[in-house]
Amino acid sequence: MGKAIATLYAKEGAKVVVSDINVDAANSTVEEIKSNGGEAIAVMANVAHEEDIQNLIDTAVNTYGTLDILVNNAGVMDNFEPAGDIEDGNWERIFAINTTSVMRATRKALPIFLEKQKGVIINVASAGGLNGARAGATYTASKHAVVGFTKNTGFMYAQNGIRCNAIAPGGVETNISSTMTNIIAFGIGRTQSGMGHNPRTGKPEEIAKVALFLASDEASFVNGTVITADAGWTAY
């Protein structure tokens, strides 16, 4: 989804900073953007590390002069573990990537946005942040936290020209399943009853179009909320 958002933003004229813990993947996206006439740079960042987030946004400002749009997209799954099977290390790792990184990147961007009284923050949450059985307890809690943080931030800075919204994708064809390493049979079994109600999986490009709308002036009255993009899965 990050790649799709970056390439679409560049196509629409944005100067893009592509960030990934896998710098080769980031460089590949940058080369694709440049080959299509866009402008982009790659910055390696492990968003679980505060110093990487600092460097990421500092690099964006040093390269392009300012920051206009922040997209917090990094995320990993849990192993569908229920509360009784949570291990502290996994809880802390997933929250560091899925939730704490959103706070830290937002905190870093806000002085830039406040100075010019303008800025957009887009957080990629999840249908798991709106419901109780789309993943395990850790992922579910981390994405609920992103939704709450989004609403609070959107309201707090609404009078400062800053908008903060979230996208809650349903099942999308991405590589996030690779972050699941030891799925808990009980946990995934409890979630399976709802899987049959999913109309279809989405394409990353479909999520990118929502991110484009939220970043644009066409969404000037949309703030502090969550747009669900899941083909109607959560409507059941």
- CA distances in angstroms from 152 to 91, 134, 170, 181, listed in the order given: 23, 24, 23, 33
Please tell me which residue in 9, 64, 139, 157 is annotated as part of the active site: 139
Instruction: Fill in the DSSP letter of residue 126.
Output: -
Strands (DSSP E) found in 45-196: 69-72, 119-124, 162-169
Cα atoms in the 13 Å half-sphere on the side-chain side of 160: 18
What residues contact 206, with CB distance under 8 A and at least 6 apart? Answer: 172, 229
9 classed as catalytic = no
- CA distances in angstroms from 204 to 18, 105, 170, listed in the order given: 16, 22, 11
Catalytic residue list: 139
